Structure 1
Amino acid sequence: MSVAVAAVVVTGLMTGTARATPVGPVDLGTLPGDDESTVLAVNEAGVMVGLSQVGRSPRRDLPVRWDANGQIMALPTPGGTEGQVRDINSSGVSAGYVLTSGIAVPTRWDAAGQATQLQLPAGHRNAISLAISDTNVVVGAWLTADSQYHGFRWDPDGTVADLGALPGETWSMAEDISADGSIITGGGFRTGANQSARWVNGGPITELEPQAYSSGAHVINDSGVIAGTVSDTRSGPVVPARWDQAGVRHPMEWPSPHVVWVYGIGSTGYVVGSGYLYPPKRSAVRWDLDGHVTALSDDGRGADAEAVNADGTVVGTCSSQATVWFRNGERRQLGALPGGTSSRAYRITDSGRVVGTAYTAAGKSHAVYWTLG
């Protein structure tokens, strides 16, 4: 019996099939006095970071961290009263920014929650940290002394570098980074169109090859594989593509002349997004490791897929409910909070933790998580 059960579990891991009924949603709540919250990132240990919020116009955001059991902790905002935490690495170190006198100051919080702020070069301002590698390299964007937005890189020893812009241009944004810190992905501008770009081993900004009229929606996994969309000509269709660690472009299927969006890439290379594969409905889609596309089941109601894990398990939203699609074709709704009517899932770990948001009976949006078993 033990051998048989073990075989079933291993099969579930390898094929993306359901192993148990998902547990949750678990309401992660807010800091005292706040009314809403959201998770922005989660690591494989199940530690989550995001925001505790109050008000609408204006709204106040505070950076927070939840441990794997859902216990909330406020992250300090030295010199300010609010801020955001945007990413967390495998060691529990997180990155974001603090608003100080209305100016964004990039900030890194260690695993114990202690804050370190980046001292900006003279004249630079409004710097936001967007991602952190497992080697504690932080990337983001700042406004330069001549009022141009550029990507930046902040190393663990405090060294900071302006990542510049494409030749002849003035704008760039560093948005994400590989686990080892060697590949940064983001965007630039050329000839009037947005371009996906990357920086490799501290080198200068380069476009993802081959050059196209425009490209975008760039996401990167821990190994440095990038996925996004490309328009090869001004009037040509938008198509999905994947770039390997060497920057070589690999096409992905899209047998439709209609628009497509790429939202996530898993650690093994599965890619997910949404698009009008079968108009007029919008389909949630997954591309396998060979680039073949599959429309995920939605009973004709339309859906969005936002994240995928190593074995091809996808999470997203269908009929206003957080939804998981397993690789064997099974679809399950993950449920809502008591008295609430809707939920959304937008992150999944390889270990099966799903995070998202759900509305309470009072109509407030709270951070939640589910466990797939």
Structure 2
Amino acid sequence: MLRNCRRSAWSLVASVAVFSGTLTGTAQATPSGPVDLGTLPGDDSSTVLAVNEAGVMVGLSMAGRDPRHDHPVRWEANGGITALPTPGGSEGQVRDINENGVSAGYVLTATAAVPARWDAQGQATTLQVPPGYHNATAFAISDTDVVVGNWLTPSDEYHGFRWDPDGQVADLGVLPGDTWGMAEDISADGRVIVGVANRAGTGHAVRWVDGGPITELAPLSYSSGAHIVNDHGVAAGSMHETGSGPPIPATWDRDGTIHRLDWPSPHSVWVYGIGSTGYVVGYGYLNPPSPSAVIWDPDGHLTVLPDDGHYVDVEAVDGEGTAVGSLESRATVWPRNGARTQLGTLPGGNRSQAYRITDSGRVVGTATTAAGKDHAVYWTLG
């Protein structure tokens, strides 16, 4: 399941290093792939949205562009594709999969979005929302089969919800004085949910622990956001201590302790992914005008991913600190202590992008076909 025990807070002053050395860790051998995951019959593009450590993937097979029609699908580890049922509708999205092969998302009916959970055999269960609640979408699932997402209340305000394996559903509520809040991710054990609340147009990182009430992760800050949490309940995001102050990338332990990550710049930074052991990747303006893709180790030390002056993006990282993203429109992997490697493209295609990596060495993303269509793909690292 990808989203997705540290030291005390300390100063942002630190040196900036660049990866170099011999290929080690997850990416020791030459990467293989990409393997084209294809589409359902009649569709023309596809994308993987989540993958578990067994290599089972879920995502979308899509037709058209305006309008686009989304069909939830599952790919076995060997690449075989299966359409997931959409009871009450003909379209939907599957957004996450846990280590047991159970996935979550939503079905689009003629009138609303309805949360759905698909078991390991692909059978669907839909959630009947309380009277007056509507347009409910599920985005994440724990290894204990707890599903989280968001819905509109009878007064048309966004609230997060939690859907337990026994079918019980609960509105997660909002902070005192706030008008809305959203749940975005959940830990593997289902005990930590993270999201965002809104007060007077300003976002605040929040979480719910063990079914308890909503709490702020950075209550003394002017604004904050934490949209991702790893399997162990460590959240990652950023905050501003004042309205005009610099951004501060940070992580939050399971107990809520804040750990600042190095960012010796007053300019914008965005946190995109957190690995199972606490490596964090992001993107920001360390030395404007050009942006940089960066990684922080579990102690918060910053490293710039080498880009040779080209456009670069990074989206995910594994437990060994191997980051994946794209460089010059080519899927790329940066081993923690090794040489950057660009991954392959499909025959006749000229673009690819990597945006998930498992600890077992599977990288998923998209690549263009000879016909110029985006197809879901995966690569295997050594």
Q: Same fold (TM over 0.5)?
A: yes
Q: State the percentage of identical aligned residues.
A: 71
User: Does residue 1:174 correspond to 2:196, yes or no?
Assistant: no
Counterpart of 2:115 (choices 82, 106, 116) is 106
Counterpart of 2:86 (choices 48, 57, 77) is 77
Amino acid at match of 2:169: V
- Residues in 2 aligned to 1:370 and 1:18: alpha-carbon distance in whole angstroms: 11
Distance 1:17 1:221, change over 3 A: closer
User: Does residue 1:307 correspond to 2:323, yes or no?
Assistant: no
Counterpart of 2:220 (choices 193, 197, 211) is 211
The aligned runs of 1:93-172 (5 Å cut-off) are 93-172=102-181
- Residues in 2 aligned to 1:217 and 1:161: alpha-carbon distance in whole angstroms: 21
1:119 shift after superposition: 0.8
1:69 shift after superposition: 0.3
Specify the alignment match of 1:317 in structure 2.
326
Counterpart of 2:68 (choices 55, 59, 69) is 59
- Residues in 2 aligned to 1:16 and 1:207: alpha-carbon distance in whole angstroms: 37
Q: Is 1:47–1:92's contact at 8 Å kept on the other side of the alignment?
A: yes
Q: Deviations over 1:132-153 (max 9, x none)?
A: 0000000000011111110000
Considering only aligned residues, what root-mean-square deviation do their CA atoms show, in Å? Answer: 1.2
Helix, strand or coil at the partner of 2:27: coil
User: Does residue 1:226 correspond to 2:226, yes or no?
Assistant: no
- Residues in 1 aligned to 2:237 and 2:110: alpha-carbon distance in whole angstroms: 36
Q: Is 2:74–2:84's contact at 8 Å kept on the other side of the alignment?
A: yes
1:209 shift after superposition: 2.9
Amino acid at match of 1:111: A
Helix, strand or coil at the partner of 2:290: coil
User: Does residue 1:252 correspond to 2:264, yes or no?
Assistant: no
Q: Is 2:26–2:361's contact at 8 Å kept on the other side of the alignment?
A: no
Specify the alignment match of 1:348 in structure 2.
357
Q: Is 1:358–1:365's contact at 8 Å kept on the other side of the alignment?
A: yes
- Residues in 1 aligned to 2:112 and 2:189: alpha-carbon distance in whole angstroms: 30
Counterpart of 2:56 (choices 47, 51, 70) is 47
Specify the alignment match of 1:7 in structure 2.
none
The aligned runs of 1:323-334 (5 Å cut-off) are 323-334=332-343
- Residues in 1 aligned to 2:220 and 2:145: alpha-carbon distance in whole angstroms: 31
Q: Is 2:205–2:218's contact at 8 Å kept on the other side of the alignment?
A: no
Q: Deviations over 1:225-261 (max 9, x none)?
A: 0010111101111120110010010000001111111
Amino acid at match of 1:344: Q
1:169 shift after superposition: 1.3
Specify the alignment match of 1:241 in structure 2.
250
Specify the alignment match of 2:12 in structure 1.
none
Amino acid at match of 1:300: G
Specify the alignment match of 1:4 in structure 2.
none
1:17 shift after superposition: 6.0
Distance 1:308 1:194, change over 3 A: same
Q: Deviations over 1:88-131 (max 9, x none)?
A: 00000000000111310000000000000001100111000000
Distance 1:17 1:56, change over 3 A: closer
**Count of residue pairs brought into register by the alignment:** 361
Q: Is 1:296–1:329's contact at 8 Å kept on the other side of the alignment?
A: no
1:302 shift after superposition: 3.2
- Residues in 2 aligned to 1:80 and 1:179: alpha-carbon distance in whole angstroms: 30
Amino acid at match of 1:59: R
- Residues in 2 aligned to 1:63 and 1:100: alpha-carbon distance in whole angstroms: 14
Higher relative contact order (CA 8 A, sep 6+): 2
- Residues in 1 aligned to 2:127 and 2:210: alpha-carbon distance in whole angstroms: 21
Helix, strand or coil at the partner of 2:286: coil
- Residues in 2 aligned to 1:331 and 1:172: alpha-carbon distance in whole angstroms: 39
Amino acid at match of 1:223: H
1:278 shift after superposition: 2.3
| Higher deviation after alignment, 89-98 or 16-25 | 16-25
Q: Which structure 2 segments of 5+ residues have no match?
A: 1-21
Helix, strand or coil at the partner of 2:344: coil
Q: Which structure 1 segments of 5+ residues have no match?
A: 1-11
